[in-house]
Chains A and B, each alone.
Chain A
Amino acid sequence: MSAHDINLSYVPTWCAGCGNYGIINSLKKALTSLNLDLEQTVLATGIGCASKISQYVNTYRIETLHGRSLPVATGIKLANHNLTVIAEGGDGDGMGLGMGHFIHTARRNLDITYFIHNNQIYGLTKGQTSPTSDLGAVTKFTPAPLGNVEQPINIVKMALNAGATFVARGFVGNSTQLVSLMAEAIKHPGFAVVDILQPCVTFNHVNTYPWYQQRVKVIENMKGYDPTSLDKALSFAGLWGEQIPIGLYYRTIRPTFHESLPQLSEQSLMQQKIDNVDITGLMKELY
């Protein structure tokens, strides 16, 4: 098996037409385009339809708990910062249980890439409201006529405000752009977030392929675009509904978490020798 052999023989269990097929293809293309050593790559996912992606990609993988991919990814990165660490999961997993971790991972600027499969619905539990469901969305837990009465979370805005250093939005229907965004995000030194819009063909009958296709606009072509400006990025992030900008919103460089720790400057924790640690000095402190 070569270090670049990305495919596994397991057959995905996603519904026919599910956006996750497009996302896994884009992920594989992005990884391949970067010529990454897959033995040095770890994918940490949560739980949900999206998170099943770790079952089908031939890297090191850990399928964590619902909502907990980011703290697990943090532990992996701090244990061996030479690894490429990617976290992945759905909008429910990441913006529901995982929201606290999302904000803190962003402000710490861990060198982790985070792909959020955003279909605005809970799929694996069969159609409940997600934190990103639109106002009025009719779901199993928010039945008609009222529908969802909560303001949805805008992932891009949230990422920008929390301090993520690479923030993008992709659409599974634009795979060329998505592959390039995913590759750029993986390359980015710092916390990189890609909000990936995808339809759920089974439970979300509003935010469909055509619904997105009519609304997505490539951000680079929009007036005033400047990915070095947080203010500009935030103003584009405010758009939703008639126009949904897709592409790179914002990119900046600041020291990553592991770079700021002097004990990691020479070698990773994993590279340290652990036999015969001398504790004489520690005992002396207690005389």
Chain B
Amino acid sequence: MMKKRNYTCLFAGEAGYGVMSAGSIIAKGANRNGLWSFLVNEYPSLIQGGLNSCLVSLADQPLSSYEETLDFLGLFSQQGFDYYADKLNPGAIVLYDPATTQVDESKVPKGTILYPVPLASFIPKGGAKIMINSAMLGSFCALTGYSKNVVIDVIKDEFHNANIQQENIKILEEVYEHVVSSLPSQNVFPFTFHKHAEPKILINGNEAISIAAIKAGCKFSAGYPMTPGSSVLSYLADHGRDYGLVFKQAEDEIAAINMLIGASFTGVRSIGSTSGGGFALMVEALGFAAIAEVPLVMVNAQRGGPSTGLPTRTAQADLTFVVYASQGEFPRIVVAPGDIEECFYETFRVFNLADKYQIPCIILTDKYLADSSVSHPLFATDHLTIDRGKCFEESADRLEPYLRYQNTPDGISTRAFPGQIGGRHIATSYTHGEDGFYSSGNKEYALNEPIITKESMDKLYNKLPSLEKEIPAIKFYGPSEADITIIAWGSTKGAILEAMEQAAIHGISVNFLQVLYISPFPVSAVEPLLQKAKKTLLIEGNKTGQLGGIIAAHTGYKADHSFFKYNSRAFVPSEILAKIKEVLV
């Protein structure tokens, strides 16, 4: 087996120069023409200035992660050179505008090709500075051999205003000619485009979650902007009119989750999306949804914390928080998708689970998964069906009273929605009996309070056996026996799978236990695999090993080795491979 071949380019510069757009055009063009793209944005929390970067890795087979080893570096600013100069592959091309960027040859590896192009000079007088990215794209095509026409086709789709489109294409063509005529052609781009390739989507985690929500019949969303969770909300806002969905921007996250509870109580599937700080504000209502048995689907796209933390950078440090958040006790679903596929299919699944078990569901992602765009085949949806769980049948002449919280062997009672004939009831945040009634001061109730209290708590937990049977709680990759077993969750998956492939080339056998559903914790699935493992390596994007703690709490097992990364950036395969080698020495 050979190491996967890829071509990685990175555009870097201040916010406002179209750094992201340059990268996404390259990624989109490749994605449309038979190649596979993986795009990672890094940006600080500001509107102008700073260092934005957009890394695009391209290959002729699917990619599940990236490395910051660059074949092409397109610079819009000096800071971009200073930060990325030591991340170049041998023979890499560095494109820069000498008017803004001084390149120091001693800082780059031997054999790096440095190309000055006066990018800004191609913008017509009075033209927007953002058009410099078309100059960048023109020189990129000329220098690498990436098809100029592919780029132009994407630009034509991206810019709806004909004038802007033509202006940008003109700049691109001019720069292209300038570079081709003044510099020797490189033609280093290693892949061939296939015009009539099977269509693929270029999609990030938040888009996959949003589309899955729409597919699942979600008709209401409420939220408050918080990076990196917001783009689920803006996606739903954008598509609300076409899909009969309402997104309501709330005054704060507390209002948002309570609106979701109101809509869900009324019978409409609803989703919220936030990050750790917003989730913190929602916690009281999370418990409300649980005790009132109102289905809830909430995305927490993690960013660095605590507090305001690192708004635009990735982390995996909210796991114990979302698993245990709230006063009191109640079962909840916490699913941590590891890739685009799981963002889509598990989101669809949790909408059914939320309805069926009438419990809160948290989809735990992070900035890296939420915001990185990956080429993916179209989602197959024929097998997806809606399951709304036990629903009340309207009836004007029922004899026995309707009990919203009737005790049943599986803990699940029938839901009636406001407007249904014969289903009037009270849903409540108080601990309550089968009829939803609570009052310690009420004589009949007070006598039975200890019994009702215990029964109502048992009712919630009686849902677990059937829920646990139904969820695909873990995934296992690699040979059943291996030199080392990796334990991880969430977005580290891609880098781990890539590292496993590389380890195999080096003759190291690695398998991987991905804990997909962390709550309810899948003890019976996890325990035997851990007992069988020769040596384990716990990989997490936090300081303290939060999944490790949860595993220990449920099984008593402690991983042999750990690799925790909490420097605000995602894991890459090379560092995981290095750790595997270090551990096995």
Closest chain A CB from B358 CB (angstroms): 14
Which of B251, B256, B263, B379 is close to A76, meaning CB atoms less than 8 Å apart?
A: B263
User: How distant is the Cα of A275 from the Cα of B211 in the complex, in angstroms?
Assistant: 14
Is B120 on the interface with A (CB-CB < 8 A)? no
Please state if A272 and B418 are interface contacts (CB–CB under 8 Å): no
- Give a binary string over A97-118; 1 marks a CB under 8 Å from any B CB, 0 the rest: 0001101100000000000000
Q: Which residue of A101, A270, A287 is within 8 Å of B419 (Cβ)? A: A270
- Further contacts, 7 of them, CB under 8 A, given A61-B427, A65-B429, A269-B220: A60-B423, A61-B426, A68-B255, A76-B418, A104-B250, A282-B211, A283-B378
Q: Is there an interface contact between A1 and B259, defined as CB atoms closer than 8 Å?
A: no
Which residues of chain B are near A71, meaning CB under 8 Å?
250, 254-256, 258-259, 262
Q: Which B34-76 residues sit within 8 Å CB-CB of chain A?
A: none
Interface hits, A26-54 → B, CB 8 Å = 38-40, 42, 44, 47, 52, 54
Please, what's the 1-or-0 string for B11-44, where 1 marks a CB less than 8 Å from any CB in chain A?
0000000000000000000011000000000000
Say yes or no: A279 contacts B265, CB within 8 Å: no
Is there an interface contact between B246 and A78, defined as CB atoms closer than 8 Å?
A: yes
Contacts of B427 in A (CB 8 A): 61-63
Q: Is B420's CB within 8 Å of the partner chain A?
A: yes
Contacts of B391 in A (CB 8 A): none
Q: Does A256 contact B (CB under 8 A)?
A: no
A230-268 contacts to B, CB under 8 A, are 261-264, 267
Q: State how many angstroms separate the Cβ of B294 from the closest Cβ of chain A.
A: 8
Q: Could you tell me if A62 and B428 are in contact, using CB atoms closer than 8 angstroms?
A: yes
Structural contact, B268 and A270, CB atoms closer than 8 A = yes
Sample (16) of A-B pairs whose CB atoms are under 8 Å apart: A58-B424, A70-B255, A71-B254, A74-B248, A75-B266, A83-B266, A83-B418, A100-B251, A262-B241, A263-B240, A269-B263, A275-B217, A275-B385, A277-B216, A282-B211, A283-B201
Q: Is the CB of B262 within 8 A of A274?
A: no
Contact: B262 with A72, CB < 8 Å? yes
A residues less than 8 Å from B248 (CB atoms): 74, 78
- Chain B residues near A206 (CB, 8 Å)? none
Question: Which of B420, B423, B430 lies in contact with A63, CB distance below 8 A?
Answer: B430
Assembled-state Cα–Cα distance A47/B254 (Å):
15
Q: B417 an interface residue at 8 Å Cβ cutoff?
A: yes
A64 adjacent to chain B (CB < 8 Å): yes
Q: A286 contacts the other chain (Cβ, under 8 Å)?
A: yes
CA distance A225 to B391 in the complex (A): 51
State whether A75 and B217 are in contact (beta carbons under 8 Å apart), knowing that A64-B429, A80-B418, A270-B417 are contacts in the complex.
Answer: no
* B441 at interface by CB-CB < 8 Å: yes
Contacts of B123 in A (CB 8 A): none
Query: In the complex, what distance in Å separates the CA atom of A225 from the CA atom of B207?
Result: 55
Instruction: Determine the distance from Cα of A193 to Cα of B248 in the docked complex, in whole angstroms.
Output: 22
Contact B379 A65 (CB under 8 A): no
Closest 10 CB pairs of A and B: A75-B262, A274-B217, A13-B441, A71-B258, A79-B266, A75-B259, A286-B201, A75-B263, A60-B418, A72-B262
* Chain A residues, CB < 8 A from B203: 286
- What is the CA–CA distance of A270 and B256 in the complex, to the nearest angstrom? 19
CB distance from B285 to the nearest CB of A (A): 6
Interface size class of B (residues with CB under 8 A): 35 or more
| Also in contact, A55 and B437, with CB within 8 A (given A63-B430, A75-B222, A277-B214) | yes
Task: Check B258 against A65 for contact (C-beta < 8 Å).
Answer: yes
Selected contact of B254 from candidates A10, A62, A68, A270, CB within 8 Å:
A68
Residues of A within 8 A of B220 (CB): 75, 78-79, 269
Q: Is the CB of A287 within 8 A of B201?
A: yes
CB distance from A284 to the nearest CB of B (A): 8
Contact present for A65 and B251 (CB under 8 Å):
no
> Which residues of A are interface residues toward B (Cβ below 8 A)?
1, 3, 10-11, 13, 38-40, 42, 44, 47, 52, 54-55, 58-65, 68, 70-80, 82-83, 100-101, 103-104, 261-264, 267, 269-270, 272, 274-275, 277, 279, 281-283, 286-287
Chain A nearest CB, measured from B445 CB (Å) = 9
Q: Report chain A residues within 8 Å CB of B252.
A: 100
The residue on B at minimum CB distance from A58 is: B424
**Contact (Cβ within 8 A) A76 B266:** yes
Residues in B with CB closer than 8 Å to A73 are 262
Question: Does B459 interact with chain A (Cβ within 8 Å)?
Answer: no
Give the residue among A42, A78, A275 with the most B Cβ atoms within 10 A. A78
Return the CB mask of B445-463 against A: 1 if under 8 Å, else 0.
0000000000000000000
CB pair B419–A39 under 8 Å, yes or no, is: yes
Are A42 and B251 in contact (CB-based, < 8 A)?
Answer: no
Residues of B219-262 whose CB lies within 8 A of A: 219-220, 222, 239-246, 248, 250-252, 254-256, 258-262
- Residues of B within 8 Å of A59, CB to CB, are 424
Complexed CA–CA distance, A47 and B442 (Å) = 17
B145 interface residue per 8 A CB criterion? no
Of the candidates B211, B258, B263, B437, which one forms a contact with A10 in the assembled complex, judged by CB atoms under 8 Å apart? B437
A64–B285 Cα distance when bound, in Å, is: 9
Q: Within the complex, which residue of A1, A61, A277 is in contact with B217, where a contact is CB–CB below 8 Å? A: A277
Within the complex, the shortest CB–CB distance from A30 to chain B, in Å, comes to: 18
Known: A72-B258, A287-B200. A40 touches B419 (CB 8 A): yes
A270 lies within 8 A of B266 (CB): yes
Q: In the assembled complex, which residues on chain A have CB atoms less than 8 Å from the CB atom of B381?
A: 279
Q: How far is it, in angstroms, between the C-alpha of A104 and the C-alpha of B426 when the chains are bound?
A: 26
Does B513 belong to the interface (CB within 8 Å)? no
**Segment 273-332 of B: residues with Cβ below 8 Å from A:** 284-285, 288, 292
- Is B438 interfacial (CB-CB < 8 Å)? yes
Within 518-547 of B, Cβ neighbours of A (below 8 Å) are at none
Pair A54/B426 contact, Cβ less than 8 Å? yes
Q: Give CA–CA (A10, B31) in the complex, Å.
A: 64
- Whether B219 pairs with A279 at a CB distance below 8 angstroms is no
Encode B192-206 as 1/0 by CB contact (under 8 A) with A.
000000011111000
Contact yes or no, A279 B262, CB < 8 A? no
Whether A72 contacts B261 by the Cβ 8 Å rule is yes
Task: Report whether A263 and B244 are in contact in the complex, using a CB–CB cutoff of 8 Å.
Answer: yes
A13 to B441, CA, bound (A): 6
Chain B residue at minimal CB-CB distance from A78:
B246
B439 close to A55 (CB less than 8 A): yes
Q: What distance in Å separates the Cβ of B248 from its nearest Cβ neighbour in chain A?
A: 6
A21 to chain B, nearest CB (A): 15
Bound form: Cα–Cα A65–B255 in Å: 11
User: When the two chains form their complex, are residues A78 and B379 in contact, meaning their CB atoms are under 8 A apart?
Assistant: no
Q: Do B201 and A38 touch across chains, with their CB atoms under 8 A apart? A: no
- When chains A and B are docked, how far (Å) is the Cα of A277 from the Cα of B419? 24
The minimal Cβ–Cβ distance linking B291 to chain A, given in whole angstroms, is 10
B285: chain A residues at CB < 8 Å are 65, 68
